Structure formats: structure tokens, C-alpha cells
Amino acid sequence: MHQSKALPPATPALPLTGLRVVEFTHMVMGPTCGMVLADMGADVIKVEPIEGDRTRHLLGAGAGFFPMFNRNKKSIAIDLHQPEGAAVARLLAASADVVLENFKPGTMAKYGLDYAALSQVNERLIYVSHKGFLPGPYEHRTALDEVVQMMGGLAYMTGRPGDPLRAGSSVNDIMGGLFGAIGTLGALIQRGITGKGQEVQSALFENNVFLVGQHMLQYAMTGQPAAPMPARISPWAVYDVFAVKDGEQIFLAAVSDAQWLAFCDVLGLGDLKLDPRFASNNDRVRSRPALLAILRARLAERGAAELAALLEAHDLPFAPIRRPEELFDDEHLLATGGLAAITLPDGPRAGQTTKAPLFPFTLGGQRLGVRLQPPTLGQHTAELLAELGYSAEIVEALRVAHAVA
């Protein structure tokens, strides 16, 4: 493994400390995989084109991609189209334990950066490809998160009947990267046993199919096609968003008979406990339209904060309806260290500090934090080339030739 700088004695080593990862990725899927490995301590080197990863400059819904998915990484800018640049990239890849990529099939082979070429130099290499589709009839199609959501049933399940709607986050890109990282960790364990690396593949379409697998099996179990979520037959009667006082909204649920009885007691709905239409969960599901109409009328003048306080005090499920920007001030995230400070590397707010969510797990009771800020373009080019043995004069010549930046 590549040897990274030792951590201070008082700091326990992260599990992937000493692992070198070279990342030829862009957008969200590949960078997510790299961020998993980076957050767990790997030395992750992001190879960018001379003009930079395109996500550095996206507008609208893409504006947060680069700062979200590229912390704890180093950046080197290389022009793979130039022979000198491709040679630098091959030398860098030869120093890696893990290489990540998410380009179209055949792209990496053009530069001698595919698994077949790199594994001849290093049989211990783990090579992780992130694609639209695993090998098969669809593998040469161009895939996007939205494409696979549409063809893989997720948009159908999210929208109202006849109105397919993509999920409100890059769910397949992010989860595809997570599955790539899971495959990487499995390959690392196997390499420790056999001494040999292997190729790992993760794909958007197959990830999406996994996400809707519960609905496929629902059909297999019942013989009835799954209805889109807004029109679904809910397994619980009280499991919905309610409009309450002052135009606010709150999600309320009671998913067992015990919760239903407590729900009625807490909210002063004692008469509903005695109504035979609502005696059991399945009775309430069968009478759901009538029950929801009663609840909506009775809760309409109750305040959201009042309802939340009552339900929280009695361990009943509820949720305020939040917007993403409101999470910056969430008391739980702030108290538990779930948000970490990062410095924006690009755009009109470059250099400003904000907060980003960390991975939702702990190791040894600790969250995995930010060791390196999202890098500026080519921030570590000179440092990494020196590590590879390039003299300052050669580095400058490569810069002048625009082979690196």
C-alpha cells in the first residue's frame, strides 16, 4: 500500500489509512465511491481534466455536486488526450491500490488505463468501474439517474398515476457509488487472502432495480401490481401528511394498534377508539378514507408545534415537513456533529465556509470528519508529480505544454 503521512499519536488511524486510490471520475456516482474511501482514511487522488471537473461550474440542481462529493481528496489536473499527460496518468495509476472510473465503456482503454492494461503492471490492483448498466444488451446506452429512474420503475412509483416523477435527489448516482465502495471493501478483504486484486463493477440501472425490488416482490406475493406511492394501498391507516393551523403541515403515523390507542388518547380522540370501523389496523386500512377525513377536520386548527410536542412526549412517530436549507440549523445534526465545516472551492462563493453532511455512521463512536477540504483544480499537481519522481523542470515543461495544470 502507498504510505501516507502518519497521524498524530493521539489520533486512532482510520481503517483505510495507507490505501492509495486514484479516481478518474466525474459527476456524482464515481466521486461518491471515492468519498466513502477518502472519509475512511484512504489517500484519494482525483484526476481532473485541465479545464476541471464539469461539476465545479454547474448551475441549479448541480451546483452542490462538487463540494458535496469531493472532500478529503487531492486534485491533479491532467490532459489525457496528450501522450505526455496519459503517461503521467498511467504512472500515477500504477502507484495505486485502487483505481476508480465512471466513463463510457472503452474510454479508459484508449489511454491504457483500463483494468486489462493496469493489472498487467500491478496484479494487486482493485479496479472499480461505475457504469450506467452492467455488461449486457443495454451496456452501450448513455445512462443518467433520471434515465434509469424512468426505465426502472422508480419514477412510476414516486409520481402520481400517469405522472412519473424522479426522486428528489440523485439516489441512483449516490447509491451506485456506495455499492462501488462496498464492492471495493470486499475486494480488499479478498486481496488480503489471495494477494490478487480484481475488477469491481457497479451500475445505475441495476441499482435502481434493487431499489424497486420490494415492489417487484409485492407483485410476486399478491399478484397485484404495486400502485404509485401517492395512490398506494397503505399498510397503515394513519400514515400521511396533514394540513394544520396557519397553513403548516406535519406527517403523523400510527403503525400498530397500541400506537393507535395512544394516538387517540394523546390527541383527545377517545370516541374513535370505540368506533368499530377502526378497531384493528386492517379495519382502519379498509376504512381509511373515512378515518382520514375525520382526522383532517379535527386536526385542522391544531398547531404543528403543539402536535409535535404531544407526540414526541408519548413516543409516537411524527415529522415536521422540512426543506433542505433548513437542515443547516437542525438541532440534532448540530448537537451530534452530523455537519462538518467545508470551504467552497469554486463559484461566486469560493473561499466561503459552509457545512456539509457527514456519512451516517460512526466508527468507534466517532463520525468520519473532513481532513482535506474539497480541492481547488490541480491543487496537488506539483506535490503528486514530485512523489512520482518528476523534477521541477519536467513539471514546468508539462505545464507549459498544457499536459498538466
- CB–CB of 36/28 below 8 Å? no
CA dihedral 375, 378, 382, 385 (to 10 degrees): 100
User: Average pLDDT in the 196-220 region?
Assistant: 98
Whether the per-residue pLDDT at 99 is higher than 50: the answer is yes
Structure confidence by residue, pLDDT tens digits, 264-306: 999 999 999 999 999 999 999 999 999 999 999 999 999 999 9
Whether the per-residue pLDDT at 162 is higher than 50: the answer is yes
What is d(CA 2, CA 92) in angstroms, rounded to the nearest whole number? 11
Which pLDDT belongs to residue 234? 87
* Three-class HEC string of the chain: CCCCCCCCCCCCCCCCCCCEEEEECCCCHHHHHHHHHHHCCCEEEEEECCCCCHHHHCCHHHCCHHHHHCCCEEEEEECCCCHHHHHHHHHHHHCCCEEEECCCCCCHHHHCCCHHHHHHHCCCCEEEEEECCCCCCCCCCCCCHHHHHHHCCHHHHHCECCECCCCCCCHHHHHHHHHHHHHHHHHHHHHHHHCCCCEEEEEHHHHHHHHCHHHHHHHHHHCCCCCCHHHCCCCCCEEEEEECHHHCEEEEEECCHHHHHHHHHHCCCHHHHCCHHHCCHHHHHHCHHHHHHHHHHHHCCCCHHHHHHHHHHCCCCEEECCCHHHHHHCHHHHHHCCEEEEECCCCCCCCCEEEEECCCCEECCEECCCCCCCCCCCCCHHHHHHHCCCCHHHHHHHHHCCCEC
Structure confidence by residue, pLDDT tens digits, 66-78: 999 999 999 999 9
Whether the per-residue pLDDT at 92 is higher than 50: the answer is yes
Q: What is the band of 232 on the pLDDT scale with cuts at 50, 70, 90? A: confident
What is d(CA 108, CA 122) in angstroms, rounded to the nearest whole number? 17
* Ramachandran assignment for 171, one of left (phi > 0), alpha (psi -120 to 50 degrees), beta (any other): alpha
Q: Which residues contact 62 (CB under 8 A, 6 or more apart)?
A: 55
Q: Which residues pair with 239 in a beta bridge?
A: 253
Amino acid at site 269: L
Structure confidence by residue, pLDDT tens digits, 15-46: 999 999 999 999 999 999 999 999 999 999 99
Please name which of 86, 75, 94 lies closest in space to residue 31, comparing C-alpha atoms. Answer: 75
Looking at domain 234-324, which of 3.90.1170.30, 3.40.1410.10, 3.30.1540.10, 3.40.50.300 is its CATH number? Answer: 3.30.1540.10
Cell 471537473, located at residue: 53
Burial class, 159, CB count within 10 angstroms (exposed 0-12 / middle 13-18 / buried 19+): middle
User: In Å, how far are 189, 252, 285 from 299, measured between CA atoms?
Assistant: 54, 11, 19
Structure confidence by residue, pLDDT tens digits, 329-387: 999 999 999 999 999 999 999 999 999 999 999 999 999 999 999 999 999 999 999 99
Residue-range domain boundaries for the chain: 20-212+337-400, 234-324
Superfamily of domain 20-212+337-400: Crotonobetainyl-coa:carnitine coa-transferase; domain 1 (3.40.50.10540)
Which pLDDT belongs to residue 11? 57
Q: What is the band of 7 on the pLDDT scale with cuts at 50, 70, 90? A: very low
Cell 488505463, located at residue: 113
Whether the per-residue pLDDT at 211 is higher than 70: the answer is yes
Which pLDDT belongs to residue 398? 97
Please name which of 172, 187, 201, 200 lies closest in space to residue 32, comparing C-alpha atoms. Answer: 172
For residues 135 and 3, the model is more confident at 135
Amino acid at site 152: G
Which pLDDT belongs to residue 233? 82
Strands 366-367, 362-363: pairing is antiparallel
Q: Which residues pair with 164 in a beta bridge?
A: none
User: Average pLDDT in the 96-120 region?
Assistant: 97
Please name which of 30, 314, 52, 344 lies closest in space to residue 177, comparing C-alpha atoms. Answer: 30
Q: Which residues contact 347 (CB under 8 A, 6 or more apart)?
A: 56, 57, 63
Q: At what angle do helices 304-313 and 257-266 cross, to 10 degrees?
A: 130
| 20-212+337-400 and 234-324 in the same fold | no
Q: Report the Cα 134 to chain-centroid distance in Å.
A: 19
